[in-house]
Structure 1
Amino acid sequence: MNNSAVIFVLSAALLVSACTLGPDYQRPDTIDTSQLRHQDGWQPVPERSWAASGSWWQAFGDETLVSLIEQSQSANQTLAQAEARYRAAEAQWRLTRGELVPEVGASVSASRGGGNDRSNSSQYDARLQIGWAPDLWGRVRRSIEADQAGLQASAADLAAARLAIQVAVADSYIRLRALDRQQAILRDTLAAFERSATLTRNQYGAGIVSRSDVIQAETQLQSVRTDMYDLQAARAREQNALAALLGVAPVGLALAEQDGLPAIPTLPRSLPAVLIARRPDVVAAERQVAAANARIGVAQAAWLPDVTLDLWGGVQSGSFSGLFDAPARVWSLGPSLAQTIFDGGRREATRDIAVARYDEQAAFYRQTVIDGLRELEDALATLQILSEKADQQAELLDLAEENERVVNNRYRAGQVSFLEVATAQNITLSARRVAVDIHAERLAATVQLAAIIGGGWDLDDPVVRRVVGE
C-alpha cells in the first residue's frame, strides 16, 4: 500500500470515528410528583438545613446516637462491600477509556535455523509495535458512557448503603432507649405495687380486708417482676444488634441504661419532586437507565466494520551483540478491515437484549419513583396521625392517673376492694407504656422520613442535579 492510500485510510477512519451510533439519552418520564395528600405547610428546604448537610441524625440532639452512627460509617462490613463495588465500577470505567488510545508494545526475539542445503544461522529481532483501532461508530464511546453511568449508579448505591446503615442504627437505638424507658416505668410501678401490697397485708392483719385482696396485690407485684426479665432480654438482643451494625463483637459494645427518649425533631419540608429526586436509590435507578441506553449503541455498532491500524518498526541482526550497532532496519504500516458477514442472528439478538434491558431499567426507575412517593405519603400520614394519637394518649394518661388516685383513696377508706385498685393501677401502667411506644413510633417515623428524602443527599451533587433537571 502506497503512502497516499495509507493517509486516505487514516483520514477516513478519523472522520468516521466522529460518528456515534445509538439513541442519545433522555431521562424517562415518570408520574407527577408535584402533589401530595399530606402536604400541609409544604415549604422549600432551608439553604443550610441539617438535612442538606447529610448529618440528619444530629437533629435528634443525642450525642450517643451521633457517636454510634459515625462509628457505623467506618466499621460496618455491608458498607465496606458497597465501597468495594464502587471501586470496581471506577476501575471498569478506566479500563474502557483505555480502548480509545493506541496500544504500544515492544518485543525482542531470537531464532536459529538451518537445513540440508543451508548452514545454520541465527536471527535476532527487536521491534516496537503500535496498534490502534479507531472508534468507528462510537462503540467505545458508548461503552464509556455506559460505564460512567454505571459508576454514578454505584456511587448512588454507596450512598444508599450508608443511608440504610444510618437508619438501621437509629431505629435500633430508638428501640433500645424505648426499652430503657419501659424498664424505668416498671421499676417505678414495682415500687408503687410493693407499697400497695404492704398496705394490703397490714389491712388484712387488722381484719379490714380479706385474704383475696392480699393474693391479688402479690400476684400483681409478681407479674411486674417477671415483665422486667422480658424487657432485659429484649434490651440485650437490641444491644447485640447494634454491635453488629457497628461492625464489632457484642462484647465490644456496652451502652449504659438511659431513662429517656430523644425529642421529636422537626424535619424541613421541600417540593415533592426534589424529595424524590434526591433519594440515592432513585438516582441509582436513573443512572442504570442511562447505562442501558448507551449499551444499545454498543450493540448497534456491531453491525458495522472495524478498522485496525498497525505500525511496527525494528531492527534485525545475525548476532545479538550487533543488534543495535549496524542492523537492518525493517518496518510495516497498514490497516485491516474486519466485517462479520453472517453470525446466525447473534448481533440482532444482542441488540434486542440491549433494548429489552433498557425497557426493564426504565420501568424499574419509574417504579422506584412511584414507591418513593408512596413511602413519602406513608411517612407524612404516619407522623400526622401519631402526633394526634400522642395528644390523645396524654389525655388518657392524665385520666388514668387521676382515677388511680381516687380509687386508692377510696380503698384506704374501705369503700372498694383491692380489685378496683389493681384495675386502676394496671390501666395507668398500660397508658404509660403505650405513651412510650407512641413516642418511639414517632421517632422511627421521623427517621424514615429522613431516609425517604434522601437522608440529606447534597443537592449540589452533579448526579442529583442531572436527575432533577436543573
Structure 2
Amino acid sequence: MNTRSLVLAGLCTLLLGACADVHMKDYQQPTSAEKTTWSRSTPENISAAETIAPDWWTAFGDPDLNVLINRAIAGNLDIKILAARIGVAQAQIGEARAGALPTLDAGAGASFEKTTGQKFTKQFNLGTQVNWDIDIWGRVEKGVQAQTAEFHATEADWRAGYLNLVSDVSTTYFQILQFDEQLDQQQKTLAKNKQILAIFEAMFQNGLIPETQVLQQRAEVSRLTKDLLELHRLRDLAENALATLQGVSAGEFRIPTGHLQEKVKLPVVPAGLPSQLLSRRPDIVAAEFRVLEGYDLVGEAKLAQLPSIGLTGRGGTASSALSNLLKSFTFGLLPSINIPLLNPGVKARVKTTEAQVKVAEQEYRRTVIGSFEEVENALVNLDAHQKQRAELAQQTRDLQKVADQVQAQLREGVVSQLQVFESERSLLAAQLALLASHQQILSDTVTLYKALGGGWPTVRVSNAGQ
C-alpha cells in the first residue's frame, strides 16, 4: 500500500505539473539599435586588440601618468567597493546552490519532574532530523543561474569602474599639467603688462597720453593678477581630486610641476575602429547579464508553481538513565508532497519577474544607444579639435614671426618698446590657446578610448555551461 500510494502521489504530481504554465523561452539578446561603422572612421573595421591595448594610457608616453594610474587602481576606494561586491555576488551563488542540499539538525535534552506523592522522574533524549527538498524541476538551479548572471554583471561593473577611474586620473592629471603651463605663461603675460603699465605711467607724466589709458592698463594688470590667483585655486582643487582618486587624503598629495606639451604626447588614434562595441563595453555587458538574470528569475518563479517533494528522516533515542541512552534508537522516513493549489503569491511573483525583464531590456537598449552617442561625440570632438589645433599652431607660428620682426625693428630704432610688448602679449595669448587645445585633444582621446570599451576583451553573455 505504501508503494502504491507513493506511485499514485507521484503521478498526481506529474499531472499537476503538466497543468502549470512553466514554458520558458531560450535567452536571446534584446533587440537594439545597430551600428557597424562610425561616421569619422575609415570603412575598414579592425579588431579591438589591434586598436586599443589593455594599458592604452601608456600611449601618452608619460611614466608619471603610468605610476599614478597604478596607484589609483591599488588604492581607490570606489574600485575596492566594486571588488567587494563581486565577493558578495560570488558568495550568493553558493547560498542559492545550498537550497538544493539537505539540512541536518541535531538536538539533545533532558527533563526532570517531581510530583507530590510520586517518585522523582528523569528523562534524557537525543534526536536528529534530516530535511531534503528535492529539486526535481530545477527551480533551485534556475536561481543559481540567475545569481551567476548577477555575479558576471557585477564583474562588468568593476571593469566599468576601472575604466572610469583610469579616465578620471588621466584627465585630471592633464588638467594639472595644463594649469602649471598656464601659470608659467600667465606670469610672463603679467610681467609684460606691468612693463607696459610702467611705460604708460611715464608717458602720462610727460603728457603724451591721457590718464584713461593708464587706468585701463592698471585694470588689465589687476585682471591678470586675479586670473593668476584663480589658476592657483583650480590647480589645488584638481590636485585634491587626484588625491581622492588615489585613495589618499586631500592635502597630503602633491604633483610636481610640469609642462603638459613637453611631458604628454598626442597619441595617434587608429583610422579603423572596432565595430564590436556591444560585446566590449563593460556597462553594456553588465546590462545584458542583468537581462539574462531576469530570464532566469522568471524561470525560477514559474517552476515554483509545481509541486515539491520533500524527504524527512528522523532518528533518536530516549532513556530514563543517561547510561542507557545509546542502547536503542528509533528511525523514521517521512516523504511528503507539497502541492500549491492556491497560492496567489506564486503567480504574482511570475508577473513581477516578467515585468522586471522588460525593464532590464529597456535599460540595456538605453545603455546601447547612449554608448553610440558617446563614441560619435568623441569622434566629432577629436576631429574638430585636431583641425582647430592646426589653425592655432599656424597662428602661433605667424605671431612668433611678427614678434621676432618687431624685436629686430626695436634694435634698429624703428618701433618702440611698447610695440614689442604688444606683439609678445598677442603671442602669449595664442600660445595659451594652443596649450588648451593640446589638453582638449588628450581628453578627447581618453574619452574615445573609454567609449570604445578601453581595451577589455569581448564577452559572450550566456548561462554557465552554454
TM-score, scaled relative to structure 2: 0.86
Task: Compare 132-141 and 3-12 and name the one that shifted more.
Answer: 3-12
CA distance, structure 2, for counterparts of residue 108 and residue 414 of structure 1: 112
1:89 is aligned to 89
Give the conservation status (yes or no) of the 8 Å contact 2:100–2:134: yes
1:454 is aligned to 453
Residues 1:374 and 2:369 are matched in the alignment: no
Give the conservation status (yes or no) of the 8 Å contact 2:199–2:418: no
CA distance, structure 2, for counterparts of residue 223 and residue 418 of structure 1: 22
Q: Deviations over 1:396-418 (max 9, x none)?
A: 12223333445566678787788
2:435 is aligned to 436
Give the conservation status (yes or no) of the 8 Å contact 1:149–1:290: yes
Percent identity over the alignment is 27
Q: Deviations over 1:78-135 (max 9, x none)?
A: 2222122221111111100111221122222223457789855433222332211111
Residues 1:161 and 2:156 are matched in the alignment: no
Task: Compare 114-123 and 78-87 and name the one that shifted more.
Answer: 114-123
Match of 1:38 among 36, 40, 58: 40
CA distance, structure 2, for counterparts of residue 263 and residue 12 of structure 1: 75
Match of 1:317 among 316, 319, 327: 319
CA RMSD of superposed structures (Å): 3.6
Q: Deviations over 1:152-187 (max 9, x none)?
A: 001111111121111111111111111111112223
Give the unaligned 5+ runs of structure 2.
none
- In structure 2, relative to structure 1, the CA distance for the partners of 1:219 and 1:416 (3 Å cut) is farther
Q: Partner of 2:260: helix, strand, or coil?
A: coil
CA distance, structure 1, for counterparts of residue 252 and residue 220 of structure 2: 37
1:341 is aligned to 341
Give the conservation status (yes or no) of the 8 Å contact 1:142–1:295: yes
- In structure 2, relative to structure 1, the CA distance for the partners of 1:457 and 1:420 (3 Å cut) is same
Give the unaligned 5+ runs of structure 1.
none
CA distance, structure 1, for counterparts of residue 275 and residue 283 of structure 2: 14
CA shift, 1:242, in A, is 0.8
Give the conservation status (yes or no) of the 8 Å contact 1:311–1:331: yes
Letter in 2 for 1:63: P
Give the conservation status (yes or no) of the 8 Å contact 1:126–1:314: yes
Give the conservation status (yes or no) of the 8 Å contact 1:37–1:377: yes
Q: Partner of 1:321: helix, strand, or coil?
A: helix
CA shift, 1:199, in A, is 6.7
1:288 is aligned to 290
Task: Compare 259-268 and 161-170 and name the one that shifted more.
Answer: 259-268
- In structure 2, relative to structure 1, the CA distance for the partners of 1:453 and 1:12 (3 Å cut) is farther
- In structure 2, relative to structure 1, the CA distance for the partners of 1:348 and 1:465 (3 Å cut) is closer
1:465 is aligned to 460
1:240 is aligned to 240
CA distance, structure 2, for counterparts of residue 319 and residue 130 of structure 1: 26
CA shift, 1:225, in A, is 3.8
Q: Partner of 1:465: helix, strand, or coil?
A: coil
CA distance, structure 2, for counterparts of residue 117 and residue 89 of structure 1: 63
Give the conservation status (yes or no) of the 8 Å contact 2:170–2:446: yes
Task: Compare 35-44 and 297-306 and name the one that shifted more.
Answer: 35-44
CA distance, structure 1, for counterparts of residue 43 and residue 198 of structure 2: 54
Give the conservation status (yes or no) of the 8 Å contact 2:42–2:272: no
CA distance, structure 2, for counterparts of residue 235 and residue 44 of structure 1: 39
Letter in 2 for 1:402: K
Give the conservation status (yes or no) of the 8 Å contact 2:107–2:126: yes
Task: Compare 407-416 and 98-107 and name the one that shifted more.
Answer: 407-416
Letter in 1 for 2:395: L
- In structure 2, relative to structure 1, the CA distance for the partners of 1:11 and 1:353 (3 Å cut) is closer
2:349 is aligned to 350
Give the conservation status (yes or no) of the 8 Å contact 1:308–1:335: yes
Give the conservation status (yes or no) of the 8 Å contact 1:45–1:268: no
CA shift, 1:148, in A, is 0.4
Letter in 2 for 1:232: H
CA distance, structure 2, for counterparts of residue 186 and residue 60 of structure 1: 26
CA distance, structure 1, for counterparts of residue 12 and residue 58 of structure 2: 61
- In structure 2, relative to structure 1, the CA distance for the partners of 1:466 and 1:267 (3 Å cut) is farther
Task: Compare 403-412 and 89-98 and name the one that shifted more.
Answer: 403-412
Equivalent positions of 1:21-420 (< 5 A) are: 22-40=24-42, 42-45=44-47, 47=49, 51-52=52-53, 54-112=54-112, 121-193=121-193, 210=209, 220=220, 223-261=223-261, 262-268=264-270, 272-324=274-326, 326-327=327-328, 329-343=329-343, 345-406=344-405
TM-score, scaled relative to structure 1: 0.85
CA shift, 1:259, in A, is 1.9
Give the conservation status (yes or no) of the 8 Å contact 2:278–2:285: no
CA distance, structure 2, for counterparts of residue 417 and residue 203 of structure 1: 12
Q: Deviations over 1:190-229 (max 9, x none)?
A: 4555665667778889x79647677766665554444322
- In structure 2, relative to structure 1, the CA distance for the partners of 1:432 and 1:148 (3 Å cut) is same
- In structure 2, relative to structure 1, the CA distance for the partners of 1:271 and 1:434 (3 Å cut) is closer
Give the conservation status (yes or no) of the 8 Å contact 2:89–2:150: yes
- In structure 2, relative to structure 1, the CA distance for the partners of 1:215 and 1:418 (3 Å cut) is farther
Task: Compare 126-135 and 233-242 and name the one that shifted more.
Answer: 126-135
Q: Partner of 1:80: helix, strand, or coil?
A: helix
Give the conservation status (yes or no) of the 8 Å contact 2:48–2:274: no
Give the conservation status (yes or no) of the 8 Å contact 1:86–1:154: yes
CA shift, 1:62, in A, is 1.1
Give the conservation status (yes or no) of the 8 Å contact 1:276–1:373: no
Give the conservation status (yes or no) of the 8 Å contact 1:21–1:139: no
CA distance, structure 2, for counterparts of residue 13 and residue 318 of structure 1: 44
Letter in 2 for 1:314: G
Letter in 2 for 1:35: T
Q: Partner of 1:137: helix, strand, or coil?
A: coil
- In structure 2, relative to structure 1, the CA distance for the partners of 1:436 and 1:78 (3 Å cut) is same
CA shift, 1:358, in A, is 0.1
Give the conservation status (yes or no) of the 8 Å contact 1:217–1:418: no
Total equivalences in the alignment: 457
- In structure 2, relative to structure 1, the CA distance for the partners of 1:466 and 1:291 (3 Å cut) is closer
CA distance, structure 2, for counterparts of residue 435 and residue 417 of structure 1: 28
Give the conservation status (yes or no) of the 8 Å contact 2:89–2:151: yes
CA distance, structure 1, for counterparts of residue 283 and residue 346 of structure 2: 32
Q: Deviations over 1:218-246 (max 9, x none)?
A: 66555444432221111111111111111
Q: Partner of 2:134: helix, strand, or coil?
A: coil
Letter in 2 for 1:100: A
Give the conservation status (yes or no) of the 8 Å contact 2:285–2:461: no
Letter in 1 for 2:461: R
